[in-house]
């Protein structure tokens, strides 16, 4: 986002303040929304079939807000798994956000504690991907940051609600390729953050490590372990090259 | 299903999800971090995005799929090229979706 060096007319500037962060956030969040709507609706359908109430369904999308963990939790509820196991599984599935939170943190110096706490509540794989690319290019406008998070979560909550209400009457989105919105977004955001050859190496190496880990049966741990190994290799090679 | 138990379970899920999301942020945002840690963290976005993306392109139900019908994989190649050449966020998302949709339309 470009900073206006001076205010020319008050009206123009006010207009910019009102519309630009919203438009900017909307643009950047739109692939996330395309990705969330079908998955959120699928969660709603599943929650309904499992016998969760509408309140519980919407509450989960509001207070947990984690796609894969919510789908897994509903399946576990359906299977009659004890609550402690459901909570433990959720913990493992969502632990990767720890790394995302740590890597975003240095970009948010000067934010108040409550702002950081609020922002962190809505860290997901997708919002992390968008924010890390934004922060890397120096765009850490608070309003755009919060708008992206809030719009993403609203779309998730509404989608789970619609899924709950309509059941399996939701149209098949596969012919439209909408289920590719998020993978394609990850491709764009990954490329945007690839600045050196070493990044390309780390990307390939980490990707292969994650694939190998999943194939070895470490499904839920694959992202965390591969990321720790990949970042360590990248930082290690960089330190070694500088010597 | 007992609504109270469901809601209590969800509160537990919220805590175990939110704590890892918020703790590093509160601990690290206000500090000046040592150089090796900054360097390590600078590789996390590339690493974590790759760890999430690549398996979704080549694995179908936990096994490698390099068949012609794996549109997610084949659409990724032009999408990567376009992203690299143009840095276009929307162009990449649109191209990827169009290619996957076209693959399904023409080849089933």
> Closest-CA residue in chain B for A209?
B51
Distance (Å) from the alpha carbon of A90 to chain B's nearest alpha carbon: 6
Structure tokens at A194: 């690839």
Does any domain span residue B82?
yes
A242: pLDDT strictly greater than 90:
no
Q: How high is the ipTM of this complex?
A: 0.94
Instruction: With residue A185 as reference, give the H or E element that holds it.
Output: helix A181-192
Burial class, A191, CB count within 10 angstroms (exposed 0-12 / middle 13-18 / buried 19+): buried
Q: Where are the domains of chain A?
A: 10-176, 194-243
Asked if B100's CB is within 8 angstroms of A177's CB, the reply is yes
State the total domains in chain B: 1
In contact, A39 and A162? CB cutoff 8 Å:
no
Asked if A136's CB is within 8 angstroms of B45's CB, the reply is yes
State pTM to two decimals: 0.89
How do B59-60 and B63-64 pair as beta strands? antiparallel
SS3 A198: helix
Asked if B39's CB is within 8 angstroms of A123's CB, the reply is no
Asked if B47's CB is within 8 angstroms of A203's CB, the reply is yes
Does any domain span residue B31?
no
Model confidence at A189, in pLDDT bands (50, 70, 90)? very high
Residues of chain A found within 8 Å of residue B39, distances taken between Cβ atoms: 235, 238-239
In contact, A207 and B51? CB cutoff 8 Å:
yes
CA dihedral A132, A134, A137, A140 (to 10 degrees): -100
Query: Exposure pattern of A108-146 as b/e (b: 16+ CB <10 Å)?
Result: beebeeeebeebbbbbbbbbbbbbbbbbbeebbbeebbb
Residues of chain A found within 8 Å of residue B85, distances taken between Cβ atoms: none
Asked if B50's CB is within 8 angstroms of A231's CB, the reply is no
Does any domain span residue B5?
no
Q: What is the pLDDT of residue B76?
A: 98
Asked if B14's CB is within 8 angstroms of A63's CB, the reply is yes
A96: pLDDT strictly greater than 50:
yes
Burial class, A30, CB count within 10 angstroms (exposed 0-12 / middle 13-18 / buried 19+): middle
Domain of residue B57 covers: 51-107
Q: What is the pLDDT of residue B98?
A: 96
Does any domain span residue B44?
no
B89 touches A: beta carbon within 8 Å: yes
Does any domain span residue B23?
no
User: N- to C-terminal Cα distance for chain A?
Assistant: 37
Q: What is the mean pLDDT of residues B42-56?
A: 97
Structure tokens at A15: 């207009």
């Amino acid at each position: 986002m470009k900073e206006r060096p001076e205010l020319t007319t008050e009206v123009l500037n006010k207009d910019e303040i009102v519309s630009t962060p919203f438009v900017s956030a909307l643009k950047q969040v739109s692939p996330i929304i395309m990705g969330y709507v079908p998955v959120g609706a699928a969660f709603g359908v599943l929650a309904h079939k499992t016998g969760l109430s509408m309140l519980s369904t919407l509450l989960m999308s509001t207070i947990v807000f984690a796609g894969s963990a919510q789908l897994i939790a509903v399946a576990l509820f359906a299977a009659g798994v004890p609550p402690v196991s459901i909570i433990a599984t959720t913990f493992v599935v969502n632990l990767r956000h720890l790394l995302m939170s740590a890597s975003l943190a240095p970009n948010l110096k000067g934010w108040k504690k409550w702002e950081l706490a609020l922002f962190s509540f809505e860290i997901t794989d997708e919002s992390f991907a968008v924010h890390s690319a934004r922060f890397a290019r120096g765009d850490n406008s608070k309003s755009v940051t919060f708008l992206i998070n809030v719009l993403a979560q609203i779309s998730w909550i509404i989608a789970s609600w619609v899924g709950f209400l309509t059941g399996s009457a939701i149209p098949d989105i596969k012919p439209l390729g909408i289920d590719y919105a998020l993978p394609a977004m990850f491709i764009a955001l990954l490329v945007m953050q690839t600045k050196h050859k070493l990044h390309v190496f780390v990307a390939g190496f980490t990707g292969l490590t994650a694939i190998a880990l999943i194939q070895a049966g470490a499904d839920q741990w694959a992202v965390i372990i591969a990321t720790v190994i990949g970042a360590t290799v990248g930082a290690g090679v960089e330190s070694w090259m500088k010597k | 299903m007992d609504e109270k138990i469901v809601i209590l379970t969800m509160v537990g899920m919220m805590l175990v999800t939110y704590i890892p999301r918020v703790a590093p942020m509160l601990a690290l945002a206000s500090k000046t971090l040592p150089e090796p840690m900054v360097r390590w963290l600078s590789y996390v976005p590339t690493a974590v995005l790759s760890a999430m993306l690549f398996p979704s392109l080549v694995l179908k139900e936990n096994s490698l799929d390099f068949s012609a019908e794996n549109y997610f994989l084949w659409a990724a190649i032009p999408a990567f090229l376009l992203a690299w050449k143009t840095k276009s966020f929307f162009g990449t998302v649109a191209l990827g979706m169009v290619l996957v949709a076209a693959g399904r339309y023409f080849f089933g």
